[in-house]
Amino acid sequence: MKILFRTFALTSSLTALIGCNASTANEPAPETPSDQVSASLYQIQNQNYSPNVAVGGTVSAKKEVLLTAQIPGRVTYLAGKEGQAFKAGQLLFTLDDSALQANLQAARAQEKAAISNIRNAGAQLTREIESPSISSNAPGGMALPSMMDRMFTNPMQGFMGMREQGAERHADLVARQTSVDQAWATLGQVQSQIKEIQSRLRDSQGIAPFDGVIVKNFVEVGDTVQPGQKIQQFADTSRLKVDADMPLRLRGSMHPGEVLEVKLDAIAMAVPATVSRIHPIADKIRHTIRVELDLPPNPLISAGMYAKVIIPDATSRGGMPVISIPASAVVMRGGLPLVFVADQNGRANVRMVRTGETTPNGNVIILSGLNTGEYIVKSPRPGMQSGDPIH
């Protein structure tokens, strides 16, 4: 009862301030043509409303890479400064590769030597096949001793079973073939070393993986870097996205392909954004899940901006009846939101209300002060006062 009394007293005071008749007499003031108010009325009805939740996020490039050093060395070249654009395949930076070039030359020389060894081993194998070696039959000596060994000693050893000519022949062929195989193996090993050095030489250069701009240089020419050290950040700033961490309870409020409103306070702009990806795993500490939204092309939007993603709360869909009225029906006087309500006598009575958020269709949610079924003035004229007749 005390609350109702205070509300009635406040309403009465506001009525007096706005211009209603302060006289205690019950007789109404005479109407004049200027007092007649022509206004459209709006009937208040309950509407199901899903409240929105604003989730903070950050604008970032959709494609972004961090280029790091793969080998130790000194930075010898940087292609440009922050903001400079490059095409895919263009050189961004180089590291000192003089030591690698020296190793490559040494490996090339070893490759030539290995090829020569292959030719020599192949020639020795061919000779052994076509003209068997007699070195195994000649234990040593010169002139007469060697001739005596070939004419008498070796044949006698074969006759007595002390030597097997076929086995010796096979062993000689295997030895020659082994030399050929070893020469080829050496060549393969050297060529593998060359490929490794060439790979490291490629790692000494930074190549643009796609069209984009340099976001940040972490080093200067002359700096010495180690493997894993940051060198450049490169991004495609023509395609931007918003990364936001939303509460898990809102997971069912969106799906890939859905369009949501994103507010960018830095440029006082709201833009539509499409949900492109919802990460499958939630943060077990904060109990949030990462959402990515694609932004439309806009030169005013840049990476790093703070953004607010407006997400409908699916947990309250269909279960939250509210009163919403056109925003034009709410007038501000003395810093208070007021609404003109039509009474049974066709007059406008002022009433203070408590407003909530604005719905997507432009209506204002009324938290208190109005009842379902009442009629209000949709667009009060300037200077409208309580008690003015409505027709």
pLDDT-flagged residues of the chain (< 50): 1-38, 135-143, 152
What class, spelled out in words, does domain 64-98+204-231 have in CATH? mainly beta
Helix (H/G/I), strand (E/B), else coil: 256: coil
pLDDT computed for residue 248 by the predictor? 85
Distance of CA 141 to the CA centre of its chain: 83
DSSP-derived secondary structure letter, 335 = T
C-alpha 148/C-alpha 145 separation (Å) is: 5
Query: Which residues lie closer than 8 Å to 115 by C-beta, 6 or more apart?
Result: 187
Helix (H/G/I), strand (E/B), else coil: 152: helix
Backbone angles phi, psi at 179, to 5 degrees: -60, -40
Query: Any idea of the CA torsion for 278, 281, 284, 290, to the nearest 10 degrees?
Result: -20
C-alpha 242/C-alpha 62 separation (Å) is: 9
DSSP-derived secondary structure letter, 33 = G
Query: Which residues lie closer than 8 Å to 96 by C-beta, 6 or more apart?
Result: 73, 74, 75, 76, 204
Give the residue from 72, 63, 11 showing the smallest Cα distance to 203: 72
C-alpha 282/C-alpha 328 separation (Å) is: 43
CATH superfamily name and code, 53-61+236-316: Efflux pump adaptor protein, beta barrel domain (2.40.30.170)
Name residue 67's amino acid: L
pLDDT computed for residue 286 by the predictor? 83
Asked whether this chain's domains 2-21+32-49+320-377 and 53-61+236-316 adopt the same fold, the reply is no
Name residue 215's amino acid: V
Backbone angles phi, psi at 103, to 5 degrees: -65, -35
Whether this prediction's pTM lies above 0.75 is answered by no
Cβ(220)–Cβ(253) below 8 Å:
no
* The 3-state secondary structure of 280-292, one letter per residue: CCCCCCCCEEEEE
Query: Any idea of the CA torsion for 243, 247, 248, 252, to the nearest 10 degrees?
Result: -80
Query: Any idea of the CA torsion for 187, 190, 192, 196, to the nearest 10 degrees?
Result: -160
Query: Which residues lie closer than 8 Å to 226 by C-beta, 6 or more apart?
Result: 69, 72
Query: Which residues lie closer than 8 Å to 22 by C-beta, 6 or more apart?
Result: 16
Q: How do the domains of the chain map onto residue ranges?
A: 2-21+32-49+320-377, 53-61+236-316, 64-98+204-231, 108-191
C-alpha 275/C-alpha 261 separation (Å) is: 10
Q: What is the largest CA-CA distance in the chain?
A: 162
C-alpha 138/C-alpha 143 separation (Å) is: 11
Give the residue from 199, 216, 239, 257 showing the smallest Cα distance to 92: 216
Neighbours of 193 (CB within 10 A): 17
CATH architecture of the domain formed by 2-21+32-49+320-377: Beta Barrel (2.40)
Name residue 25's amino acid: A
